[in-house]
Structures are given as structure tokens and as C-alpha cells.
A and B are shown apart, each in its own frame.
Chain A
Amino acid sequence: MDRYAKMFNRLNDAKEGAFVPFVTVGDPDQETSISIMQCLIDNGADALELGIPYSDPIADGPTIQHASIRALSSGATPDTCFDAIAQIRKDNPDMPIGLLLYSNLVMVKGLESFYQQAADAGVDSILVADVPLREAEPFIEVANKTGIKQILIAPPNATDETFAAIGEKSQGYTYLLGRAGVTGAETAVEIPADELISKLKQHKVAPPLLGFGISKPQQVKDAIAAGAAGAISGSATVNIIAENLDNKDVMLKNLGNFVQEMKAATK
């Protein structure tokens, strides 16, 4: 059984939802980034969602843009990111690890060799932020070949046709968008209406994790109460990194506290 399925089984048995923090690999530098990822795991993250830094992240607000800039300035490349992930994988064999990245990083290396490199580093899933279903076929094909789950996004404005296609093709989990716009804690998530959740169930999509604008335990609680399998929190996590760049100990302590509080809200 794959790591996501195991995680969802475990959480189902415990009647919990998933809490999945997002950080950009290499932010603010390679060594600190590895400590950060381990800290998130040690404090109760059910899975990790990881960004690969990119120069032109059109789906991200200022917080995650700055994380990319910090990582790139410290010399991060997809190769160094995969090194960091491989280390985390070595110490955490059961942790589901997903990538959230932009298409050009994949295209320039070639789909198959990028996905293979990800698989070799121990990555479970890949979500390409700027590849909609309509362009996803070659990515899904390569994902299947390399044993990676291609994560699909379910936006609140999707047509029935899109939901049906997600139902047919989704694996691992479904990234349920909590609202329009770009990533960021500035604009709060909108808890999905019953209608949206029942549509997802009707089309049998992979378990939905709600993301975009989640920064508070109450939002995690509400998301799970509404029927999501869990919640993803990116910008709120990255903000703690940004606010404590000059004090790594405080950064890790605050990240740990944040993950514990958010995880507690899934129970």
C-alpha cells in the first residue's frame, strides 16, 4: 500500500484529519531547510508538501514568492532540493512527501528524467501548479511509469466535467482549493459548501485536502468538519520562517508549536 493510502487509513481509524504543512525546499538555505522539514515531521505533520524554488511562481502570493527568492539566492536548484528530500526520506521512511512546483522546472529536464529523479529521492506525489487537467495527460503518463502520484487540483469554480475527470484520474489525494486567487494567509480560506464536498464524493475523487488561506487551527477544524480529509497550510508556515531568519532556534520552536496546534485541531 502506498504512503498516502496508509496515512489515510491510519487517520480514519483514529478519526483524525490530516495536517500537511508546506515549505519551500532550500528556504532559507539547505541546512536550515532540512532542519525545518524534520521539525515539521517531529511535531506531528502527517505529510509534507514541498515547493521547489522557481523564478516566476504565478500561483503564489508574496510569502511563498519570497521563500523562492531566499532559496534561489542561497543557491538552491532542483538537484540540491532532491538531495535534501532524499535525506528526509532516509530518516522518515513512512512519511508521505509531495512536491508542488511549476511546469518549466519539469520541462527543461524532461518529464521522465525529472519524475525519475523525484522518485529516486523518495517523493510520493507531484502537483504541477500550472498544469491544468487539459495539459496533464503526458504528466500523468510519466507519473504512472515512475511510480509517482500525479496530484490534481479541484478548484471551487470547476465544471462538472472537470470534477468527473478528476474523479477518474486523481491519485494519492486531491488538492481542494479553498478559494480563488493565489497562495497566502492574507485572504482566508472559504470552507467548502456541502454541495462541493458531495460533488467530490459523487465523483469519487482521491481524498480532498483543503488548501489556500489556511493559517488557524479553527480553519483546520472547520475544513474537516465540512468533509475534507485534512488541510494544507503553506504561507502561514513559511511566514514563521520569514519572521525568524536571524534566529534559527526560535524559528524551529515556533514552527513546532504551530504544527502541534494545527495538528491538534484535526482530532
Chain B
Amino acid sequence: MNKLDSKFGDFGGMYVPELLIPALDQLEQAFIDAQQDPEFQKEFMDLLNNYAGRPTAMTLSKNLVSNPKVKLYLKREDLLHGGAHKTNQVLGQALLTKRMGKTEVIAETGAGQHGVATALACALMGLKARIYMGAKDVERQAPNVFRMRLMGAEVIPVDSGSGTLKDAVNEALRDWSANYDKAHYLLGTAAGPHPFPTIVREFHRMIGEETRAQIMEREGRLPDAVVACVGGGSNAIGMFADFIDTPEVKLIGVEPAGKGLHTEEHGAAICKGTKGILHGTYSYIMQDKFGQIEESYSVSAGLDYPAVGPQHAYLNDIGRAEYVAASDEEALNAFQLLSRKEGIIPALESSHALAHALNMADEAEEETIIVVNLSGRGDKDLAHVRSVLGDAYDG
């Protein structure tokens, strides 16, 4: 039986083949032990501080917001080594891999950010990494494929199904079910079967904890709202975790509306999806009426996932967090605005959160402090954004 709670209300659980249960139990036990082991915590903190660059800065935007009543802060996960928040939890899980005596790591990646984070952690810790990536994504994200290979990871293109992130997860799970003895599955988001949603949340929890301390120091009070983008939901749950029991802080998750929530081309599992099971967890997913999983879509590959972490589904249903959506167009606008006004090029994922925060800022009638989790930097998106917007800037 599970030692930690495997569910968030009805959501979550362990909907995987019986074969994987011992590996998930082993992981749960290793995580519980590590959380209570000062040596582990010391090593994790050392890596976070001296390798990854924590704590990350929190920047008050100077030119972005015209409403004088609003202060918009950016939690700068884009400054973390690897270019996104992903590095936090990957370092934690890589340490758990070693603790379990495993020598190999399996991971999935969509845009390549989790793959890059996995590759760097495995290079550092002498683990052998193989990373599943949809064949289409391998083509679309060539620079990240090169980064992963440069750091010694094997990148395996996945042709099955739609050739994107969800198929890469399927393939990683299949690999794991044959190789759990020596390999750890280093899942990249706060989804999947228990204990992954809990582990990923706890290994990203410092995002919200630092935010709380930094805002108290700068403003002497808590923010009115924290805003984060939600694909699988790892950066959002990292930002939310420390505020869940502080009801005066609004938690706002921004899903990808793609070409619009009225179209079929989006990735808004909470806003538009229905309850179901994907990749081992019961949550909101995108599916047809028979339960076949539908393709998601977003301009941002990191949000292009047809499900969401189970704790977000729960926070939505109990009304503790609010989930909204921002379209490709709104995200691209926010991407350009932050670049031009503040000299920060954000990831397209984080641009979704920023887009919604800017709308909130425009509408605010009282003194308001908003913190946006700027979960990653936009370098990886330059080629793609240039292909979409190039005409406005080239020549």
C-alpha cells in the first residue's frame, strides 16, 4: 500500500500495469527517505545553489505595466542553469536515481527542455540517459537535440502515434516496464502516476517559497496573485505549493488556448477537457467521446500536452486555483512586449502566463501585486518565433 497519499480528491492514482507498481513503490520509499535525510537535502541544496544558480532573482517590471496601481514581478526561473525551472526537479530525481542504486535514466521530452535538463543532470552525475522525443519534435527542436547529444544523452525519435510528447511518454513507459531494475523513469512534469506528481511538486516547491520570502522583503506583504503557465503543470505547482494554504493569494494557471478555445487546436485540458486517465493518472484530459486521446496544439511545444497534472485538476475543482487560457497570438504579443520593454526574452510557455497577467494589470482598480513565474527563457523559441514573425523584424 502507498505510504503517501496517492490521490488529490478523486484525481491522481496509479493507473499503470501491475508490473510497474514495485518500481513506483521503490521510488516512493526512496523519496520519503531522502526527504528525511539531511545528507540528501544538503547535497540537493548544494546543487541548486552552486550548480543551478538558486535562489533565482525576482524582477519588478519597469516599463511593462502602464496601470500605476499595479506592481508586476517576474520570478526569474529563466535565469536557472539549463534555461528553465526544469533543472530543479531533475537534479532531485537524478539524486534519487543514485540513491536507488540505478545507473540509467529514461526520460521523455517535447520541446526538449526537460530532455536538456535531464541530459545535464545525468552528465553531472555519471548516469546514462536515453530520452524519447516525438519524431516531429526532433525535427522542430534540432538545437535542443544537439544540446542533449552534446551532453552525452541518447535521443530516441518516436514515430508511433502522433510523433509528439504524448507518444514519447508512452514509449518511455514501455521502456521502463522492461528495464525498471536498472533504470529510473525521470518524468518531466507534475503528472503521471503517483508518486511523480508529489515528487515533482516538492522538488519545485522552492519557486513559491523563494517568491514568498522575496516579496515579503520587498513589499512587506504577500502578492494578490501568482500566475503561471500550465501544460503538465510543473512550474505552476512549484509556484503554487507554498501558497495553497494561504487563501488570500490567488493562484492562477494559464493554459494554452492555441488558435482559440472555440477551435479544436488548443491544449487547455482543464478549461476544455473532460475527466479521464492518461499516462497513469486520473485528471482532466483531451479525449473524444469514446475515450481516445486527442492531439493537443500550442505554439509553445512545452504546453502541447493533452492532459494536466492531477493536483491542478483538484485545485480547480475545489475552487482554490483558477485556470484560464491564453492564445498563441496573446502569447506571441507578450513575448515581444517583454523583450522590447524589459530586455528579457521569455519562453513561449511563460509568455502565456505573462499575457494573462498583463490583462489582469490592465483591469486592476485597486493596488495590486502580481507575480508571474517566468519559467524559462526564450532562446529555444527564437527560430520558431522568427519564422512566425520574421517579416516584422528582418530587413
Whether B161 pairs with A181 at a CB distance below 8 angstroms is no
Whether A59 pairs with B177 at a CB distance below 8 angstroms is yes
Number of B interface residues, CB 8 Å?
39
* B166 contacts partner chain A, Cβ-Cβ < 8 Å: yes
* A197 contacts partner chain B, Cβ-Cβ < 8 Å: no
- Please, what's the 1-or-0 string for B251-293, where 1 marks a CB less than 8 Å from any CB in chain A? 0000000000000000000000011111110100101011111
Whether A177 pairs with B280 at a CB distance below 8 angstroms is no
A106-132 residues with Cβ-Cβ distance < 8 A to B are 106-109, 129-132
Q: Which residue of A lies closest to B289 (CB)?
A: A108
B370-388 residues with Cβ-Cβ distance < 8 A to A are none
Complex formed: what's the CA distance from A61 to B170 in Å?
Answer: 10
- What is the CB-to-nearest-CB distance from B110 to chain A, in angstroms, rounded to a whole number? 15
User: Please, which residues of chain A bring their CB within 8 A of the CB of B274?
Assistant: 108
Whether A77 pairs with B161 at a CB distance below 8 angstroms is no
Complex formed: what's the CA distance from A21 to B368 in Å?
Answer: 65
Q: Which of A153-161, A221-229, A240-248, A257-265 contacts B (4 or more CB under 8 A)?
A: A153-161
Whether B178 pairs with A56 at a CB distance below 8 angstroms is no
User: Please, which residues of chain B bring their CB within 8 A of the CB of A132?
Assistant: 14-18, 20-21
Whether A181 pairs with B177 at a CB distance below 8 angstroms is yes
Whether B1 pairs with A56 at a CB distance below 8 angstroms is no
Q: A130-B15, A158-B18 are in contact. Are A55 and B292 (CB under 8 A)?
A: yes
Complex formed: what's the CA distance from A135 to B2 in Å?
Answer: 11
- What is the CB-to-nearest-CB distance from B104 to chain A, in angstroms, rounded to a whole number? 14
Complex formed: what's the CA distance from A78 to B290 in Å?
Answer: 7
Partner of B277 from A61, A72, A104, A158 at Cβ < 8 Å: A104
Whether B278 pairs with A109 at a CB distance below 8 angstroms is no
- Please, what's the 1-or-0 string for A50-83, where 1 marks a CB less than 8 Å from any CB in chain B? 0000111111111001000100100001110000
* B9 contacts partner chain A, Cβ-Cβ < 8 Å: no
Partner of A134 from B14, B180, B290 at Cβ < 8 Å: B14
* B105 contacts partner chain A, Cβ-Cβ < 8 Å: no
* A39 contacts partner chain B, Cβ-Cβ < 8 Å: no
User: Please, which residues of chain A bring their CB within 8 A of the CB of B2?
Assistant: 134
Whether A56 pairs with B170 at a CB distance below 8 angstroms is yes
Q: Which residue of B lies closest to A187 (CB)?
A: B178
Whether A105 pairs with B293 at a CB distance below 8 angstroms is no
* B126 contacts partner chain A, Cβ-Cβ < 8 Å: no
* B232 contacts partner chain A, Cβ-Cβ < 8 Å: no
A133-190 residues with Cβ-Cβ distance < 8 A to B are 133-135, 152-155, 157-159, 162, 177, 180-182, 187
Whether B287 pairs with A108 at a CB distance below 8 angstroms is yes
User: Please, which residues of chain A bring their CB within 8 A of the CB of B277?
Assistant: 102-104, 107, 130
Q: A56-B278, A58-B170 are in contact. Are A135 and B15 (CB under 8 A)?
A: yes
* B173 contacts partner chain A, Cβ-Cβ < 8 Å: yes
* B66 contacts partner chain A, Cβ-Cβ < 8 Å: no
User: Please, which residues of chain B bring their CB within 8 A of the CB of A157?
Assistant: 19, 22
Most buried by B among A77, A131, A132, A153: A132
- What is the CB-to-nearest-CB distance from B72 to chain A, in angstroms, rounded to a whole number? 39
User: Please, which residues of chain B bring their CB within 8 A of the CB of A135?
Assistant: 13-15
User: Please, which residues of chain A bring their CB within 8 A of the CB of B6?
Assistant: 134
Q: A56-B166, A56-B278, A104-B277 are in contact. Are A131 and B290 (CB under 8 A)?
A: no
Partner of B174 from A61, A103, A106, A177 at Cβ < 8 Å: A61
* B160 contacts partner chain A, Cβ-Cβ < 8 Å: yes
User: Please, which residues of chain A bring their CB within 8 A of the CB of B17?
Assistant: 58-59, 129-130, 132, 153, 155
Whether A109 pairs with B291 at a CB distance below 8 angstroms is yes
Partner of A155 from B14, B18, B174, B287 at Cβ < 8 Å: B18
Q: Which residue of B lies closest to A108 (CB)?
A: B291
Most buried by B among A102, A108, A109, A187: A108
Partner of A182 from B177, B276, B279, B282 at Cβ < 8 Å: B177
Please provide the 9 A-B residue pairs with the shortest distance between their CB atoms, ordered closest to farther: A181-B178, A108-B291, A132-B18, A55-B292, A155-B19, A104-B291, A105-B291, A104-B277, A153-B18
Q: Please name 6 further chain A to chain B contacts, defined as beta carbons within 8 Å, in addition to the given A133-B21, A177-B19, sorted by A numbering.
A: A55-B161, A58-B173, A78-B291, A105-B290, A107-B282, A180-B177
Which residues in B have some Cβ–Cβ distance to A below 8 Å?
A: 1-2, 6, 13-22, 160-161, 166-167, 170, 173-174, 177-180, 274-280, 282, 285, 287, 289-293
7 contacts between A and B (CB under 8 A): A55-B293, A58-B173, A59-B17, A79-B290, A104-B277, A108-B290, A187-B178
